[in-house]
Amino acid sequence: MRSCQKKYKIVFLLGFLLFTSVSFSQNNKQKELETRRLELRREIQKINELRAENKSKEKSELSLIENFNYKINVLSNLIKVTNQQANLLTREINSNQKKITDLRDELKELKGDYAAMIVKSYKSKNQQSRIMFLLSSNDFKQAYKRLQYIKQYSDHQKQQGETIKTKTIELQETNSSLLKQQEEKKKLIAENRDVQKSLEVERKEHEALMKSIQSNLSKYTAQIRSKQREVDRIDAEIDKIIAEAIAKSNEKAGKSSSSSTFALTPEEKILASNFTSNKGKLPWPVEKGYVTLGYGSQPSPINKSLTIKSNGVRIATEKGAKVMAVFNGEVTKVINLKNANPFVMIRHGNYYTVYKNLSKVYVKEGDKVSTKQAIGEIFTNPSNGETIFSFIIYKDGATQNPASWIYKM
């Protein structure tokens, strides 16, 4: 009897732990998806707000294509996340319904066994008296054990039945809750249909613009190449400045000037360590904005045969937007190149952050800056109303992907 009871307890415990583990995992996944969905909706809101602010200005075709591509990507991701939420919820409901069915079957079987035992005991009681049942035992100890066995088995069956009944009620309540969530997700999916309509509108406008561009592709290809040459010129100057700074730090430390990494002082090591520990948690360099061009080499959205090289990210923001330092550091350079807007370089140990395309600069070389301190104002193109700047992160002389460092970029 004790062995049987122990077996039931082990099976019940394992089932409970498995159910709890799966439910916890699914709940976490659902929360992650919901967080992501809200982030995407806020991103779409930012895009729409910035578009509305500059709608009176005539945008360049290249900028319009970038904006279309970005919004199409965000809308597509929003639809994907919402579908994942609905699918996960459906799997949770199906899983719980199966659990309820299994537990009901188990409860029915246990009740049947319990009823059969009661019937058998009743028949036995009618056929011979309790005294005769006890007298049929070899001794008093055996008779006592028989009674204890019946009592224990009866109690166990009753306890097991009540436990499963309670668990079934719990699962039914859980399933009821999930069904309510499913109704909420149905509303969400209905809203998502509006998102799909918006996506189709964006795609049609994108296709129409691309047809217009393709009719004069050589003109736009020349613009892209010219813009890339200008970016390369500025980036080459930044690389040169950082290389000189590395050589100077090594020379000062009595090390080889050909080293590709900084020779850091104890204070600089602490600063660099703090910068590293904040990877993925650094604040955005602007209060409101979105990325229009990501990091790395990528095909041009207009001419796929052309490769665009981006050492950082390009961010669109609002007119008059201030750019902020993403971490404590020292302003090492404020550069004013010919035919280019000013840019600021801030050093954080062996890291650099670079802020390009400014109209005003609030800091000077040698200034110590703190996280989120305004260091300048971003240039707004008067011809098209675009306020766009580039942001780069270096570790020693190598560029880093800002999306890996900036919080939820």
Q: 158 versus 392: which is more confidently predicted?
A: 392
CA distance 141 to 104: 38
Does residue 187 sit in the same domain as residue 255?
no
Number of structural domains in the chain: 2
Does residue 155 sit in the same domain as residue 278?
no
Q: What are phi and psi of 233, to 5 degrees?
A: -60, -45
pLDDT given at position 63: 80
Does residue 274 sit in the same domain as residue 199?
no
Q: Could you tell me if residue 329 is inside a domain?
A: yes
Q: Could you tell me if residue 308 is inside a domain?
A: yes
Q: Could you tell me if residue 291 is inside a domain?
A: yes
Q: Could you tell me if residue 219 is inside a domain?
A: no
Among residues 214, 247, 270, the one where a domain terminates is 214
1 — pLDDT class (breaks 50, 70, 90): very low
Among residues 214, 238, 260, the one where a domain terminates is 214
For every residue of 302-363, DSSP letters joined together read: S-TTSEEEESSEEEEE-TTPEEE-SSSEEEEEEE--TTS--EEEEEETTEEEEEESEEEE--
pLDDT given at position 2: 47
The H-assigned helical ranges of 54-129 are 61-127
Does residue 203 sit in the same domain as residue 248?
no
CA distance 40 to 276: 27
Average pLDDT, integer, range 298-311: 90
Asked if residues 310 and 293 have their Cβ atoms less than 8 Å apart, the reply is yes
Q: 287 versus 101: which is more confidently predicted?
A: 287
**Could you read off the pLDDT of 205-214 as tens digits, one per residue?**
989 988 888 8
Mean pLDDT, all residues of the chain: 84
Residue with tokens 């004790």: 2
The first and second tokens of residue 403, run together, are 């999306």
- What is the separation of C-alpha 170 from the centre of its chain, rounded to a whole number of angstroms? 32
CA distance 46 to 342: 26
CB-facing half-sphere around the CA of 129: CA atoms within 13 A:
3
**Could you read off the pLDDT of 29-86 as tens digits, one per residue?**
888 888 888 888 888 888 888 777 666 555 677 788 888 888 898 899 999 998 888 8
105 — pLDDT class (breaks 50, 70, 90): confident
pLDDT given at position 131: 54
Q: Could you tell me if residue 41 is inside a domain?
A: yes
Query: Shortest CA distance to 379 belongs to which of 359, 354, 355?
Result: 359
Does residue 356 sit in the same domain as residue 209?
no
Per the structure, the complete domain to which residue 244 belongs is given by 224-404
Does residue 60 sit in the same domain as residue 85?
yes
For residue 220, pLDDT beyond 60: yes
123 — pLDDT class (breaks 50, 70, 90): low
CA distance 326 to 409: 13
CB-facing half-sphere around the CA of 195: CA atoms within 13 A:
24
Q: What is the DSSP letter of 406?
A: B
Mention every residue, 6+ apart, whose C-beta is less than 8 A from residue 269. 349
For residue 130, pLDDT beyond 90: no
Does residue 249 sit in the same domain as residue 209?
no
pTM above 0.85, yes or no: no
For every residue of 228-292, DSSP letters joined together read: HHHHHHHHHHHHHHHHHHHHHHHHHTTS-TT-SS----HHHHHHHHHHHHTTTTBPPSSSSEEEE
Q: Could you tell me if residue 161 is inside a domain?
A: yes
pLDDT given at position 101: 82
Does residue 352 sit in the same domain as residue 398?
yes
Does residue 182 sit in the same domain as residue 240?
no
Q: 19 versus 270: which is more confidently predicted?
A: 270
Q: What are phi and psi of 57, to 5 degrees?
A: -90, 150
For residue 225, pLDDT beyond 50: yes
The first and second tokens of residue 232, run together, are 């390369």
pLDDT given at position 114: 64
Does residue 238 sit in the same domain as residue 149?
no
Q: Could you tell me if residue 409 is inside a domain?
A: no
Does residue 178 sit in the same domain as residue 119?
yes
For residue 362, pLDDT beyond 80: yes
Does residue 259 sit in the same domain as residue 382?
yes
Per the rule left: phi > 0, alpha: psi between -120 and 50, beta: everything else, 305 is alpha
127 — pLDDT class (breaks 50, 70, 90): very low
Among residues 183, 214, 245, the one where a domain terminates is 214
Q: Could you tell me if residue 83 is inside a domain?
A: yes
Residue 368's CATH number: 2.70.70.10
**Could you read off the pLDDT of 318-355 as tens digits, one per residue?**
999 999 999 999 999 999 998 899 999 999 999 999 99
For residue 390, pLDDT beyond 90: yes
With both helix axes pointing from N to C terminus, report the angle between 61-127 and 140-214 in degrees, rounded to the nearest 10: 160
Is 81 exposed, middle or buried, given 0-12, 13-18 or 19+ CB atoms closer than 10 A?
buried
Asked if residues 395 and 272 have their Cβ atoms less than 8 Å apart, the reply is no
pLDDT given at position 168: 75
281 — pLDDT class (breaks 50, 70, 90): very high
**Could you read off the pLDDT of 8-29 as tens digits, one per residue?**
455 555 555 555 555 666 778 8
For residue 142, pLDDT beyond 80: no
